Structures are given as structure tokens and as C-alpha cells.
């Protein structure tokens, strides 16, 4: 973990400084999402600029986007539960409905104070997941807001942290016959909930309820997707992210993250797949 971070393709500092003035241009939680559960534990504040979720022993809370998308570019800034967050999970994912659903997951697994969060990622296609990759972060995600993004276009799915790609799932439907999410609309979901039976060190460390309520905060949601339903836009194909690929510099950065911060990769877990690794592993 000692090597230095290669430069971002965009100047990082100016972006951060600008981000406050962007705030009104980015989405507004009042317009873009519904708080769907948690009996008052989820709150939209500051005229829609901030959303907080909380978790205590009786319940967590969550929200979902009003729109459904078929392809999209979603950015959201999150400040994760601080202090002893062991057992808590903050989830941020896209999902369609039904048994053969597609899903693109970010899950942030809490930890004891001072111990690192794990960023857990997964991709489900046609109801089938088992594609977990996990990462540590190169910063403390509880001190400040950081930008977590999902790019989903017809060629690939890319997970980004502060603009750095950490994982790519390619569309290998035509070449390898691996199902790719390209015909079921997905909604954005986010939640804060308790998973003390598995989240931290595989369930060894339980939630310390004397620290409750636990709280995570969200801002600058920018859901630029191909909206489905009555608001569907026919101009979606012209959005720049529909053709966004990973250039050489982005690939280099992704390799750097994977080399230094990857905790788990299903594609190297031969014990779990004794009959052979999933077919996408040789191509992704
Ligand atoms: C979040 O990151 C993306 C790049 O992945 C960038 O386009 C966007 O401007 C960032 N948003 C903020 C508010 O920093
Ligand atoms: C929590 O910290 C321990 C000790 O550093 C580490 O082994 C573990 O991977 C961390 N994260 C989770 C979610 O267990």
C-alpha cells in the first residue's frame, strides 16, 4: 500500500472546490428519491441537498430513486458511519425487479474504530451473482464525503471511487455468451442496515448497540440515466457516457487500485470454484 497514487485525468482539487457551487446543478433529493423505509430514520435536509440515514437496534432505513434507468451514469457522495461501525452495512446499488433480476452493488462494510471499511462490489445478471470483489480504501471514508459512481452502458459496467475506476465488468454476451444487463430497467437503492452476522470479519465482530444511532450522509446525487417509462428520452443514445471507455490512464489507475487495495476477488478463488473459474474471469 506504499506506492503513490497515479495522477487523476481530471485535476482533483479544483473539482472538490467547485463541488459546492455544483450542488444546485446536481440532483435534489426531494425531486429524485423517496425515503421508503425506516419510520423517520431517513431524512432529507437543507432543501434536498443532504440526505441522512440512521440505524438503531429496532430498524435501519433506506431510499430509492423515483426513476428507473436502462443504462446510466450515477454519481453520489457518501460520508460513511463514523466511529465503531462494526456490523453496519451502507448499501448503494442499482437493481431491477423479479427472479431473473440484474443488480450492480456497492456495499460498505463497517468496522471497529480505526479499522478499515471494506468496499464490497457485486454484479448480478439474470438473477445470478457470485461475482464479489472487495477493496480497502486509500482514505478514511468517515471523515469526509467521497464520490462513488456507477457507469453502466452497453459495453461495460465500471465502479469508480473519487473518479478512480476500481472494477470493470465487460459485456461479453456476444463473445462468451455471458448474460449482460441490457434489457431490464433498474432503480437506484440505498440503505443503512445491520448485518452483524457476516459484515465485519465474517461476523466475528458484532454491532455495539451502545453506539447507536449510526448515521450515514449522502449528497450530490447525479443520476444521469436513460429514464424509462413516461419520461423516457429518445436522445439518451447521444449521452457521452453511453460510449465511455477506459483509456490507458484509467486502466493504469484501476490496476494500481486492484494491486494495492483489493481484499477479495472471486476470479482468483479456486477453492470456491473447483470446477473452474467463471468464464468472464479470463476476459475481465
Ligand atoms: C464524481 O466523480 C465523477 C467521475 O467519476 C465526476 O464526473 C463528478 O464530477 C464527480 N462529482 C463530484 C461532485 O465530485
Ligand atoms: C476490519 O478490520 C480488520 C482488521 O484490520 C480487517 O481484517 C477486516 O478486513 C476489516 N473489515 C471488515 C469488514 O471486516
What residue ranges do the domains of the chain occupy? 29-282
Q: How far, rounded to the nearest angstrom, does the alpha carbon of residue 153 sit from its chain's CA centroid?
A: 15
Q: Rounded distance, CA 96 to CA 68, Å?
A: 9
Q: Using one digit for the tens of pLDDT, what is the confidence trace for 17-71?
A: 333 333 335 689 999 999 999 999 999 999 999 999 999 999 999 999 999 999 9
Question: Residues 107, 168, 196, 280: which is the catalytic one?
Answer: 107
Q: Using one digit for the tens of pLDDT, what is the confidence trace for 111-155?
A: 999 999 999 999 999 999 999 999 999 999 999 999 999 999 999
88 CA → ligand 2 middle, Å: 13
Confirm whether 103 is a catalytic residue: yes
Question: Residues 49, 68, 99, 103: which is the catalytic one?
Answer: 103
Confirm whether 68 is a catalytic residue: no
Spatial neighbors of 129 by CB under 8 A, at least 6 apart, are 103, 122, 123
Q: Rounded distance, CA 16 to CA 110, Å?
A: 25
Q: What is the chain's alpha carbon radius of gyration, rounded to the nearest angstrom?
A: 18
Assess whether pLDDT exceeds 90 at residue 202: yes
- Higher-confidence residue of 254 and 233: namely 254
Q: Rounded distance, CA 141 to CA 261, Å?
A: 14
User: Residue 202: helix, strand or coil by DSSP?
Assistant: helix
Q: Using one digit for the tens of pLDDT, what is the confidence trace for 65-118?
A: 999 999 999 999 999 999 999 999 999 999 999 999 999 999 999 999 999 999
| Architecture of the 29-282 domain | Sandwich (2.60)
Spatial neighbors of 250 by CB under 8 A, at least 6 apart, are 9, 165
Indicate whether residue 49 lines ligand 1 (CB < 6 A). no
Do the beta carbons of residue 76 and residue 218 sit within 8 Å? Answer: yes
Amino acid at each position: 500500500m506504499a506506492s503513490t497514487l497515479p495522477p487523476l485525468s481530471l485535476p482533483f482539487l479544483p473539482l472538490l472546490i467547485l463541488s459546492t457551487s455544483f450542488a444546485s446543478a446536481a440532483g435534489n433529493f426531494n425531486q429524485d428519491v423517496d425515503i421508503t423505509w425506516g419510520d423517520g430514520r431517513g431524512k432529507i435536509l437543507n432543501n434536498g441537498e443532504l440526505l441522512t440515514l440512521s440505524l438503531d437496534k429496532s430498524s435501519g432505513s433506506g431510499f430509492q430513486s423515483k426513476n428507473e434507468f436502462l443504462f446510466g451514469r450515477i454519481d453520489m457522495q457518501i460520508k460513511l458511519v463514523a466511529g465503531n461501525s462494526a456490523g453496519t452495512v451502507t448499501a448503494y446499488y442499482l437493481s431491477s425487479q423479479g427472479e431473473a433480476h440484474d443488480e450492480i452493488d456497492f456495499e460498505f462494510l463497517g468496522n471497529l474504530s480505526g479499522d478499515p471499511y471494506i468496499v464490497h462490489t457485486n454484479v448480478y445478471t439474470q438473477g445470478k451473482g457470485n461475482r464479489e470483489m472487495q477493496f480497502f480504501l486509500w482514505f478514511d471514508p468517515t471523515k469526509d464525503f467521497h464520490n462513488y459512481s456507477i457507469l453502466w452502458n452497453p459495453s461495460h459496467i465500471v465502479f469508480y471511487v473519487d473518479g478512480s475506476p476500481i472494477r470493470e465488468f465487460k459485456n461479453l454476451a456476444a463473445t462468451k455468451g455471458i448474460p449482460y444487463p441490457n434489457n431490464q430497467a433498474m432503480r437506484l437503492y440505498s440503505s443503512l442496515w445491520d448485518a452483524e452476522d457476516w459484515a465485519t470479519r465474517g461476523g466475528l465482530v458484532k454491532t455495539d448497540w451502545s453506539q447507536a444511532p449510526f448515521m450515514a450522509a449522502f449528497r450530490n446525487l447525479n443520476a444521469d440515466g436513460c429514464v424509462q417509462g413516461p419520461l423516457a428520452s429518445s436522445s439518451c443514445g447521444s449521452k457521452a457516457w453511453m460510449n465511455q471507455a477506459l483509456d490507458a490512464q484509467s486502466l493504469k489507475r484501476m490496476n494500481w487500485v486492484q494491486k494495492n487495495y483489493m481484499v477479495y476477488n472471486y476470479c482468483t478463488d479456486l477453492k470456491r470454484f473447483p470446477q473452474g473459474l467463471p468464464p468472464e474471469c479470463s476476459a475481465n
